[in-house]
Amino acid sequence: MTDTTEGTDAQDRLSPLHDEHVALGAALTSFGGWQMPLRYGSDIAEHTAVRAAAGLFDLSHMGEIEVSGPQAAAALDHALVGNLTAVTPGRARYTMICAEDGSVLDDLVVYRKADDVFMVVANAGNAPLVTRELDARAEGFDATVTDQAAETALVAVQGPRAAEIVVGLTAADDVPAVRDMKYYAGAPASVAGIDAFVARTGYTGEDGFELFVDAAQAPALWRAVLAAGTPLGLVPAGLSARDSLRLEAGMPLYGHELDATLTPYAAGLGRVVKLDKTDADGAPLPFVGRAALEARKASDPARVLVGLRGAGRRPARAGYDVLVPGMEFPLGRVTSGVPSPTLGYPIAMAYVTPEISAEGTQVEVDVRGRREPFVVVALPFYTRT
Amino acid sequence: MSNAFPENLQYTNEHEWLDGSSPAVVGITANAAEALGDLVYLELPEVGTAVTAGEVFGEIESTKSVSELYSPVTGTVVEVNQAAVDSPETVGNDPYGDGWLVKVDVTEVGPVLTAAEYEAFVGA
């Protein structure tokens, strides 16, 4: 048997929670230059726990970059495709950073912590590039770009019981802010006696929180959440469960649904590009990639990101061809696929040509030489009730 | 795992095991099952299929990855564990028992390792 499970690399950085993962018996994997937990036991059980109760994730591999100063918002409006000036302090926004040619360098969540302080959260593998680009693009603005990835740990508590667990650990004075926090909002709070930036964001399709803390405090926070959450059904969950959860929720993953060959339009995420953003004088704001994106907006979407539901049991995997029954030439390609633990059938996301993108279209996926029947369905596959 | 390397079995460096009986029972090792994670799909040859030592005879799929199964022996498949095909998690739960894969009428055994040699091979 050929073992194709991911291994680890001696060059990998270690999470501040590495010792916790080892003590919990985690299987570790190399991801974005970090050694991170793939699963602690059964990845299906971890997935199910997040849907039914709660999961605890170490996301310390994500890159945190602070942009601060009187012109921080203007610098980000120039550097990113979104309109960050329009984000109210205490709120967050999903956005992207593009190259001059309009291609996606990374997808980001940006938190506006104060009028002049933003935290940009980048994917682990892209964080060094995003940091360099932000630094270069902030030149000429009264703004400072600081890479905080090394000293910042990120722990996510996700699932229907996440609020109960996090609020239960929050200092009394901060309880109202955390309990009543809206989706895509964030605020400082003391959790388990530890100073944290608490955000109601996530990547699982469930309610939940992401807790940014000083790396040195991460193990204490991790243990406190485990202790408080375990009686409520919380389990530590690895990247394998994170991937199947985000896929059920129809959320893109950089390197799969997004990459540097695509514009946001080609990825079906053109809504994040704010071509209407203006400078203080009301003139169109010349952000990086604007000219290319304006030109490519109409011409680009030759393919459509769709959901696929398998009729059989064999899952489609990234890179597999999508075909029309009876035809040899592929009309699409799978970007991500798993057997859905929640739904009980194989699910996948794929880029396909417009003519086979309508819901209900019967297609086939070439699963290692044998064509398996799939049907085009709406995204997301799963929405919490 | 206490029963990770049963003494009575032979092993291959592709992480299959076989017993010495005739026909021979073939499966994957606990070590392999553990590394793969939750198993979700198993593809095995039909009864009557000729298999060759060292060549692919099926595939096993976990939530995250797909692996090919290499036959430890040359011969003809005489029985397939349909219960494992229907419930692949059986292979992970009991790789040396209910999670066996196929029974093969053996004409030739490929290169095999003893339990101690396999244990050394996987670095346990």
Question: Domain-by-domain residue ranges, chain B?
Answer: 10-111
Q: Residue B49, exposed/middle/buried by CB under 10 A (0-12, 13-18, 19+)?
A: middle
Predicted confidence band at B3 (pLDDT cuts at 50, 70, 90)?
Answer: low
Closest partner CB to A3 (pick from B35, B38, B59)? B35
CATH: 2.60.40.10, 3.30.420.40, 3.40.50.1000, 2.40.30.110. Which one for A304-377? 2.40.30.110
Q: How far is CA A168 from the centre of its chain?
A: 26
CB contact (8 A) between residue A4 and residue B70: no
CB contact (8 A) between residue A42 and residue B60: no
Determine the 3-state secondary structure of B14 from DSSP: coil
**Neighboring chain A residues of B69 at a CB cutoff of 8 Å:** 1
Res A300 pLDDT > 80: no
Question: Domain-by-domain residue ranges, chain A?
Answer: 13-60+151-248, 63-146, 304-377
CB contact (8 A) between residue A314 and residue B32: no
- Rounded CA gap, B25 and B102, in Å? 6
The more confidently predicted of residues A297 and B4 is: A297
Q: What is the dihedral of CA B109, B115, B121, B122, to 10 degrees?
A: 120
Predicted local confidence at residue A1, as pLDDT: 52
Q: How far is CA B122 from the centre of its chain?
A: 16
**Neighboring chain B residues of A5 at a CB cutoff of 8 Å:** 35-37, 62, 64-65
Res A341 pLDDT > 60: yes
CATH superfamily, region A63-146: Aminomethyltransferase beta-barrel domains (3.30.70.1400)
Average pLDDT of chain A is: 95
Task: Return the residue of B nearest to A6 by Cα.
Answer: B65
Determine the 3-state secondary structure of A254 from DSSP: strand
- Rounded CA gap, A158 and A55, in Å? 5
Predicted confidence band at A280 (pLDDT cuts at 50, 70, 90)?
Answer: confident
Q: Does domain B10-111 have CATH number 3.30.1360.30?
A: no
Predicted local confidence at residue B2, as pLDDT: 40
Q: What is the mean pLDDT of residues A182-211?
A: 98
Res B124 pLDDT > 60: no
Q: Minimal Cα–Cα distance from B117 to chain A, Å?
A: 17
The answer to whether B69 contacts chain A (CB < 8 Å) is: yes
Predicted local confidence at residue A4, as pLDDT: 39
What percentage of chain A has pLDDT greater than the value 90? Answer: 90
- Which class would CATH give A13-60+151-248? alpha beta
Restricting to A residues 315-354, those with a Cβ less than 8 Å away from any Cβ of B are: 315, 317, 338-339, 341
Range of weakest confidence among A130-134, A216-220, A294-298, A314-318: A294-298
Predicted confidence band at A278 (pLDDT cuts at 50, 70, 90)?
Answer: confident
Predicted local confidence at residue B123, as pLDDT: 82
Task: Return the residue of B nearest to A344 by Cα.
Answer: B40
- Rounded CA gap, A109 and A120, in Å? 6
Task: Return the residue of B nearest to A28 by Cα.
Answer: B35
ipTM: 0.81
Q: What is the mean pLDDT of residues A219-230?
A: 98
The answer to whether B67 contacts chain A (CB < 8 Å) is: yes
CB contact (8 A) between residue A3 and residue B59: no
The more confidently predicted of residues B20 and A364 is: A364
pLDDT tens per residue across span B31-80: 999 888 899 999 999 999 999 999 999 999 998 888 999 999 999 999 99
Best of A1, A8, A36, A244 to disrupt the B interface (most B CBs within 10 Å) is A1
pLDDT tens per residue across span A9-42: 778 999 999 999 999 999 999 999 999 999 999 9
Predicted confidence band at B87 (pLDDT cuts at 50, 70, 90)?
Answer: very high
Q: What is the mean pLDDT of residues A293-298?
A: 90
pLDDT tens per residue across span A357-377: 999 999 999 999 999 999 999
Q: Minimal Cα–Cα distance from B81 to chain A, Å?
A: 17
Res A57 pLDDT > 80: yes
The answer to whether A244 contacts chain B (CB < 8 Å) is: yes
Predicted confidence band at B17 (pLDDT cuts at 50, 70, 90)?
Answer: very high
